[in-house]
Amino acid sequence: MIPRTTFYSEEAANRRYSVLLAFVVLLVLAGLGFAIGYGVTGNLDTAYVVVLGAVFLSLLLTAGSYFGGDSLVLSVSHAREVTAQQAPQLFNVVQEMAVAANVPMPRVYIIDDTAPNAFATGRDPKHASIAITTGLLQKLDREELQGVIGHEMSHVRNYDIRFTLLVAVLVGSIALLADFFLRFTFFGGGPRRGGDREGGGGGGIQIVLFVVAIVLAILAPIFARMVQLAVSRQREYLADASSVELTRNPAGLERALAKIASDKEVLEVANRATQHLYIVNPIKKFESRAQGLFSTHPPIADRINRLRQLTGESPLDATALRQLQGLD
């Protein structure tokens, strides 16, 4: 007997896990800042200042991305806004899903590319946009299109874009802080005697923390990036479950995921900075630009099997699994 889950339990579990992962990234940023501050100066007050400085840097980067990130993503993706007269069926489906999700109608964009894919962007439901490739409109039927739009509308309703933005900024802050410290160390920086009567410090603890800071500066960006990708994958699972809630039809999304993943067309406008936004990873494994990349999306077979769990269906058989392996 296959255990049956509900989209409500899927949503709750993925939200908890995603928040936990974001908190871990924040702790890594604070820990790296503290180790650098104390390791270099041996002064607790300076260590706290470095931590606050790292957090302040994150806030500045967040503010810039919050107000201008969506326009940049749409511009880089060569997306053009369309009206209901230009794409009536698409607008009709988006309106249906917006009503089902109880969110304002987002702006609708089309990317002139034959590779089927889609993404959502924006800082909140009132400032959201959905971009769909022409290939998606040509190759999916209406039920499949509903599943994809339901998935993207779920990202809007669940504030996934804002959440992943926060995690991306934290990861970027860790990389910037680590790079600055390693450059400082390479060009002759090192522990400085910083013990004062109030702050304490220096000595063996300072040296230990300086070494810890070097190790963290090397490993923390890699670890933070892996956590970021884990958050991205969990949000995809969540959006899949939420799409079922909106459409009441897991079969449409299941077929859409299989079609998009199996399509051999290359989405030229996608890049490493935007690939995590798409419903299916647009950078195919056979492409040279895919080399050395961690996976930004869960395996398609796993996503489909989770959808099947929602209706109590059997998992994909061996033949179907073989067809989907290596596509994500």
Residue entry with tokens 């994809």: 148
Pair 304, 254: CB distance under 8 Å = yes
List the catalytic residue out of 152, 236, 245, 254: 152
List, in order, residues 6 or more apart from 282 with CB less than 8 Å away: 115, 117, 267, 270, 275
How many whole angstroms separate alpha carbon 146 and alpha carbon 121? 18
Residue among 135, 129, 74 nearest 274 (CA): 74
List, in order, residues 6 or more apart from 284 with CB less than 8 Å away: 264, 266, 290, 327
How many whole angstroms separate alpha carbon 237 and alpha carbon 18? 11
The SS3 of residue 157 is: helix
- For residue 237, report the phi and psi dihedrals to the nearest 5 degrees: -60, -45
Q: Active-site residue 245, yes or no?
A: no
List, in order, residues 6 or more apart from 74 with CB less than 8 Å away: 109, 121, 129, 131
Pair 328, 295: CB distance under 8 Å = yes
Pair 241, 11: CB distance under 8 Å = yes
Q: Which residues are catalytic?
A: 152
